[in-house]
Amino acid sequence: MNPGTVLITGMGGRLGGRLLRRLHRTRRVIGVGQRVALGLPKDVEYHLVDPLRSAAREVFSRPDVKAIVHLGVIHDSRRRGSHQSNLLTLERVLGYAEQFGIPKLVLLSSANTYGPRPENPQFLREDAPLLASGRFTEMRSLVEVDLYAQSHLWRRPETEIVILRPAHVLGTVRNAPSNYLRLALVPTVLGFDPMLQAVHQDDVTQAIERALMPGIRGIYNIAGPPPVPLSKALRVLGRRSVGIPYSLAKSGLTGLFQFGMTHFPAAELDFIRFVCMVDDGAARQALGYVPEHDLRETLLSVDEERWA
């Protein structure tokens, strides 16, 4: 049976590229994105268009589209208007799913939306509140995207909505945790060595593929191999690190960020002070998800294609 076409938004990103390579052998893949994607497989159709533009409507309206994977969420809070465009894009995508009767929508959210807090339990379940934006206003766009999708989760029986909240995704992707671990000299907060949870990029695409199975809906945390202290992760990677007192690191980072000399906002320091880890029991049970990459592979994946 032909499972129908998958439409991936934000396919120009690195994770989108990994995902389409996993999916395109078994089903047709169409991509929508705003970044130029090179070297795509021949059977993949890619439209360089903003999903908010009416030109994208034609792609969503095709009758053979049976699932949407929404990766097109901008995580970089410095991109102007990212907050508004994240919400508007999701609203538009949800609207298309309803209008054209697309039976499946997978949203890639993030475990970071729970927020790193000293009072966090070691492993958060899916029913924990998303408190990241409390201390960290830059996160509010991601939190609101997750909440907005949640509000549609049970309201519309004809579309199965799946929200995936992976822990720190590591790999060739250009996200904050991978960039952080790629630094030659890794700054840490003096006196803090929190447990970290990482998940390999290909385990995330595996989870997305499993979420596309018919009958799956709901919110699932995605975790990788068992967590390790930050210091051990840096040892595995062979990185040198330097401990900086929190107050100094905070003021320094605030200054650097203002002048555009770093991609890390000062509030993100809490991610290397406190725990923000998830319990992926639900995903293991309902999706049959099991991470295939062990700790070493997951961590070392940030150095792959380093100079490519």
Partner 1 sequence: MKKPSALALLADVTRRSGLPLVDRVLDVARRRAEELRLRVVGHDFDERVAWLRRRYDSMGGDPFGLDPDVAKRVVTVLSFFHRLYFRTECVGLSNIPEGRALLVANHSGQIPIDGAILGTALFMDLDPPRVGRAMIEKWAVTLPFASTFFNKVGQVVGVPENARRLLEMGELLLIFPEGVRGISKPFSQRYQLQPFGSGFMRLAIETRTPIVPVAIVGAEEQYVNFGNLDGVAKLLGMPVLPMVPQILVPGGQLPLPMKYRLHFGEPLHFGGDHLDDDQVINDKVWLVKQTIQDLLNRALSQRSGLFT
Looking at the Cβ atoms of 39 and 118, the one nearer to partner 1 is: 118
Task: Please identify which residue in 123, 148, 257, 264 interacts with partner 1, judged by CB under 8 A.
Answer: 123
Distance CA 218, CA 213 (A): 12
Contact flag: residue 248 with partner 1 (CB under 8 A):
no
Concatenating the DSSP letter of every residue in 92-142 gives HHHHHHHHTT--EEEEE--GGGG---TT--SSB-TTS---HHHH-GGGHHH
Q: How far is the CB of 129 from partner 1 (least distance, A)?
A: 13
Query: Looking at 34-42, 135-143, 188-196, 207-215, which segment touches partner 1 (CB under 8 A)?
Result: 188-196
**Is residue 262 within the footprint of partner 1 (CB under 8 A)?**
no
Cβ atoms within 10 A of the Cβ of 28, count? Answer: 18
**200: enclosing H helix or E strand:** strand 198-200
- Calculate ∠ Cα 71-77-79, nearest 5°: 85
Place of tokens 């959210």: 109
* Residue 120 in the binding site for partner 1 (CB under 8 A): yes
Nearer to partner 1 by Cβ, of 52 and 244: the residue is: 244
Q: Which helix (H) or strand (E) holds 210?
A: helix 201-211
Closest contact distance (angstroms) between CB of 50 and partner 1 is: 42
Instruction: Write 38-44 long-range contacts (CB < 8 A, 24+).
Output: 44/20
> Does 121 help bind partner 1 (rule: CB under 8 A)?
yes
Distances (CA, A) of 272 to 64, 117, 256: 45, 11, 18
Does position 226 interact with partner 1 (CB under 8 A)? The reply is: yes
Q: Does 274 bind partner 1 (CB under 8 A)?
A: yes
Residue 241 and residue 231 in contact, taking contact as beta carbons nearer than 8 Å:
yes
Residue given tokens 């960290």 in the structure block:
136
Q: Are 165 and 126 in contact (CB under 8 A)?
A: yes
Total residues interacting with partner 1, rule: CB under 8 A: 23
We find the least distance from the C-beta atom of residue 3 to partner 1, in angstroms, to be 35
- Token digits of residue 55: 């030109």
Residue identified by tokens 């592979």 is 297
| Of residues 81 and 118, the one with the C-beta less far from partner 1 | 118
Which residue in this structure is represented by tokens 């795509």? Answer: 40
3-state SS, residue 184 = coil
CB of 140 to partner 1, least distance (A): 23
Q: Confirm or reject binding of residue 127 to partner 1 (CB under 8 A).
A: no
Q: Please report whether residue 119 would count as binding partner 1 according to CB under 8 A.
A: yes
Residue among 108, 170, 189, 198 that touches partner 1 (CB under 8 A): 189
Q: Does residue 134 bind partner 1 (CB under 8 A)?
A: no
Stretch that binds partner 1, among 10-18, 26-34, 78-86, 116-124 (CB under 8 A): 116-124
Nearer to partner 1, 120 or 262 (CB): 120
Single residue of 55, 190, 248, 290 touching partner 1 by CB under 8 A: 190
61 binds partner 1 per the rule CB under 8 A:
no
- 118 contributes a contact to partner 1 by CB under 8 A: yes
Name which position in 40, 52, 186, 195 contacts partner 1 (CB under 8 A).
Answer: 195
Residue 289 CB-density burial (10 A; 0-12 exposed, 13-18 middle, 19+ buried): buried
Interaction site with partner 1 (CB under 8 A) = 118-123, 125, 189-195, 225-229, 245-246, 273-274
